[in-house]
A = this chain, B = another copy of it.
């Protein structure tokens, strides 16, 4: 479905004066506080969040999956969907593919199609947590960490193939989420599993093009329920240290034990110059993969506080980061969910940009916890939504993307085009 952009203009016209009023008020308040609003708008405009190809369909749990309708049936339709999102919010200018779910048959044509939507190809993702029908060996007991060299070799070869697809499309990074782990005490020798994995990683690392990176994602449990080889940020960092400078850690917000202080982990990775990127989602219990900002918006803000501080401090030497949503939309329209997620991410980013950093630094120096809290809350309690809407307006996107999406009955149109019982590849 190709969006008629004049519809967006109509939408914006209706809302323009209300937006102007809100923006003027906010701009004036921020200027009173000493902020350069134009610079903030520019930073917000530049901030793009990749959409994972598998988030365009309805997800499920081990107890079942309730399909939605009008889901993309091909890689081309996935690009269309991300193109649609990007047209609506001008913030989703990249897609992250997952192999083998999204093998491009014709890379040149796919690149052209993506370019027509103004989309980049973000990190490519390998999958060795499921068996594919044509596989020689099963990943039931692991892949890159498997005790059997045949299985490891197969998993390494798969990763090399993923890199190739990525090269064809212009990606610059490989994300490895390695689900390898165990369900029972004694099932695995932890050290040897680490060393086998390290050996496998080395072989993949060697195959990386010169301008590529590899992101090592960590997760404490699920799909395995006793141990995971890359269980935590410490293990991810250890692998990155042993591999070299192209290897960087990747933080998925849902991959932590209860009560973890994630923002401090972000700071640690940045300090070591080893943060590669982010998988955004939200959760209450575990890797719930809910809409970003739906559950713990303040934590998200605190994470962006670290990111903004770290990426602007001269004390930190860290490569540019890769941003991606990684959620699973079980009860919402996936496109609506993604619009909400992107909005929540950019709100947190905008709030982090208006933190009074000099005052915060001073409060920290003086151990003035009360004042430090005031400073953060001043930013967090500010309603920054008019900034986001302004950027969208300036760049031809919709002032209210979700409202527009509903007004235009886009899902109904997609269902008409693609059918009510579609299944996209993914979880």
Residue of B nearest to A373 (CB): B184
**Given A140-B331, A286-B286, are A191 and B267 also a contact pair (CB < 8 Å)?**
yes
Q: Mark A376-415, 1 if CB is under 8 A from B, else 0.
A: 1100111101000000000000000010000000000000
* A188, chain B: closest CB distance, angstroms: 6
Q: Does A427 contact B (CB under 8 A)?
A: yes
Q: Does A294 contact B (CB under 8 A)?
A: yes
Contacting pair B257 A258 (CB below 8 A): yes
Q: Mark A238-269, 1 if CB is under 8 A from B, else 0.
A: 10000000000000000001111101100110
**Given A183-B331, A271-B194, A298-B295, are A285 and B222 also a contact pair (CB < 8 Å)?**
yes
Taking A183-B331, A190-B264, A221-B259 as known contacts, 4 extra A-B pairs with beta carbons closer than 8 A to each other, sorted by chain A number, are A185-B263, A190-B263, A223-B330, A285-B286
Q: Mark A27-68, 1 if CB is under 8 A from B, else 0.
A: 001001000000000000000000000000001111110100
List residues of chain A with CB under 8 Å of any chain B CB.
18, 22, 25, 29, 32, 59-64, 66, 129-131, 138-142, 147, 179, 182-192, 194-195, 220-223, 225-227, 231-235, 237-238, 257-261, 263-264, 267-268, 270-272, 283-286, 288, 290-291, 293-298, 302, 305-306, 309-310, 313, 315-316, 328, 330-333, 336-337, 340, 347, 360-361, 363-367, 369-370, 372-377, 380-383, 385, 402, 427
Most chain B CB atoms below 10 A, which of A61, A131, A315, A347: A61
* A32, chain B: closest CB distance, angstroms: 8
Residue of B nearest to A293 (CB): B377
Question: Can you identify 27 A-B contacts, CB atoms within 8 angstroms?
Answer: A25-B25, A61-B223, A62-B223, A63-B179, A147-B366, A182-B369, A183-B290, A183-B330, A184-B291, A184-B332, A185-B294, A185-B295, A186-B375, A187-B367, A188-B364, A189-B309, A191-B313, A194-B268, A195-B271, A222-B285, A226-B284, A234-B234, A234-B268, A257-B260, A259-B285, A331-B367, A340-B374
Residue of B nearest to A335 (CB): B370
Contacting pair B264 A231 (CB below 8 A): yes
Contacting pair A66 B381 (CB below 8 A): no
